[in-house]
Chains A and B, each alone.
Chain A
Amino acid sequence: TQLLEQSPQFLSIQEGENLTVYCNSSSVFSSLQWYRQEPGEGPVLLVTVVTGGEVKKLKRLTFQFGDARKDSSLHITAAQPGDTGLYLCAGLYYGNNRLAFGKGNQVVVIP
């Protein structure tokens, strides 16, 4: 059972366009993390969101944690080819120090 559903699984856009990807669950998380993975490398943490409704910005990337702490979104403004990668969300359950990962959103930005 996949506890974290990420959508869309694959997204291809032109440079300069905006995009939003989603991470949804029926479970409540104490925190949620977003990682980016590039080919041949391990995932690298982008952000951790902890408070329901929290919004964090990392340059052109905006992350939001849902009010109910069950879902999150990642919005990229004016996407660039360097944004290409697999975006993974990972949730931390209350009382558990293990992360559960979604399958990822594969984003391709075409120059």
Chain B
Amino acid sequence: DADVTQTPRNRITKTGKRIMLECSQTKGHDRMYWYRQDPGLGLRLIYYSFDVKDINKGEISDGYSVSRQAQAKFSLSLESAIPNQTALYFCATSAGQFSTDTQYFGPGTRLTVL
């Protein structure tokens, strides 16, 4: 089974709808991240969490919110989706003990906002 899972894998929604993307991990890592990937723009950090009680904004947090329900779960919400939030979304985890820690990515969620 995959260590980092994301649900759903694909989602099509309409402008103004609320949507939640979920991420679960079985690696026992404290640190979790949400990124979005757009063609020509690369991976950009939306939010990150270093433990259950720690939530931090990334470089593009406007229009998004997150919830760290448990060490293993980190969800990303779009309160009112807009078309420019159409992108590939990735969740990642890391152990966080050293600055050279590997980030382990989930398979991604492809979100389309019409």
Contact = CB atoms under 8 A, between A and B. Distances in A.
A48 to B, nearest CB: 5
Contacts of B35: 101
A25 interface: no
Interface residues of B, number: 24
Nearest to A2: B42
A88 B35 CA distance: 14
Interface residues of A, number: 22
B100 A97 contact: no
Interface in B63-114: 90, 92, 96, 99-100, 102-108
Contacts of A88: 42-43
A31 B103 contact: no
Contacts of B31: 97
Interface of B: 4, 31, 35, 40-45, 48, 50, 58, 90, 92, 96, 99-100, 102-108
